[in-house]
Amino acid sequence: MSYNLSLYRFLAGELVAPDMNVVRTVLSPVRAEPDEVGDDATEYWIRAADGSEVEIGVFAEFISVERPQVGDVWKIIIELVDRLRAGILIPNGTFLCPEEMRAHLPEGMENSSVFVPEITLATFESAAGPFMDPLT
């Protein structure tokens, strides 16, 4: 099954641009060279040590995670989410986010959100439920 995730961070009800220093720090050890795909977008092809891969697109207001394979790429994805203090929009419509983001979400978004102290692989798997294949 092919699916995509989106990573977002909100402050005072508004989207916040991804911190590119954090993105570079997390992705530089595991990425191919970035490919500029537009004025406000950069794509990275990531390969983890176990050979699993994922395409990550960094845009002005969010990060897309496309076709993540089973394996260690999930550790990289979760580290990126955690270090950015972002939330994950899961394809089933759930927004998994750190508790600290609750007060910053746009009005009405709290109803479809799951709040956790920190995003880990276990909290992600729990929120994603049966929609996701086993990740590890």
Two structure tokens written together for 124: 């992600």
Q: Distance (Å, rounded) from C-alpha 113 to C-alpha 133?
A: 21
Q: Distance (Å, rounded) from C-alpha 123 to C-alpha 129?
A: 10
pLDDT in tens, the chain (136 residues): 457 899 999 999 999 999 999 998 999 888 765 566 566 778 889 989 999 999 999 999 999 999 898 899 999 999 999 999 999 999 888 999 999 999 999 999 999 999 999 999 999 888 887 555 545 4
**Could you tell me the residue ranges of all domains in the chain?**
4-129
Q: Are 44 and 37 in contact (CB under 8 A)?
A: no
pLDDT score recorded for residue 59: 93
Q: For the domain covering 4-129, report its CATH number.
A: 3.30.310
* Cα distances (Å, whole numbers) of residue 19 to 27, 58, 93: 12, 10, 24
DSSP alpha helices (H): ranges in the chain?
A: 20-27, 73-84, 121-128
Q: Which residue shows structure tokens 């537009």?
A: 38
